[in-house]
């Protein structure tokens, strides 16, 4: 089973949905019907090359 990587631009979403500026996140609620490897916040979107190794998703190697 593979992992999905989701990037959510909170600043853009807040501006479009509510017409205001994003300030802070007070709480994140994750339900038990999914598996989460990591949740993190950043000041901008980073390319795969800019991420530290522990934040990258690697495809499983298939042995023949």
* Percent of the chain residues past pLDDT 70, beyond the cut: 91
For residues 50, 39, 9, 42, the Cα torsion angle rounded to the nearest 10 degrees is -50
- Domain of residue 20 covers 1-64
How many structural domains are present in the chain? 1
Length of the chain counted residue by residue: 64
pLDDT of amino acid 61: 67
Counting beta carbons within 10 angstroms of the beta carbon of residue 36, is it exposed (0 to 12), middle (13 to 18) or buried (19 or more)?
exposed
pLDDT of amino acid 45: 85
pLDDT of amino acid 47: 86
Whether the predicted pLDDT of 4 surpasses 90: no
Contact 45/9 with Cβ under 8 angstroms? yes
| Model pLDDT for residues 28-57, shown as the tens digit of each residue | 998 888 888 888 888 888 888 898 888 877
Mean pLDDT within 16-34: 92
CA–CA dist 9, 17 (Å, integer): 12
Instruction: Please identify which residue in the block is written with the tokens 């023949």.
Output: 64
């Amino acid at each position: 089973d593979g992992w999905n990587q989701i990037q959510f631009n909170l600043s853009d979403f807040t501006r479009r949905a509510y017409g205001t500026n994003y300030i802070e996140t007070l709480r994140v609620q994750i339900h038990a019907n999914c598996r989460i490897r990591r949740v993190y916040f950043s000041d901008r979107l980073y390319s795969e090359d800019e991420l530290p190794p522990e934040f990258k998703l690697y495809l499983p190697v298939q042995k023949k």
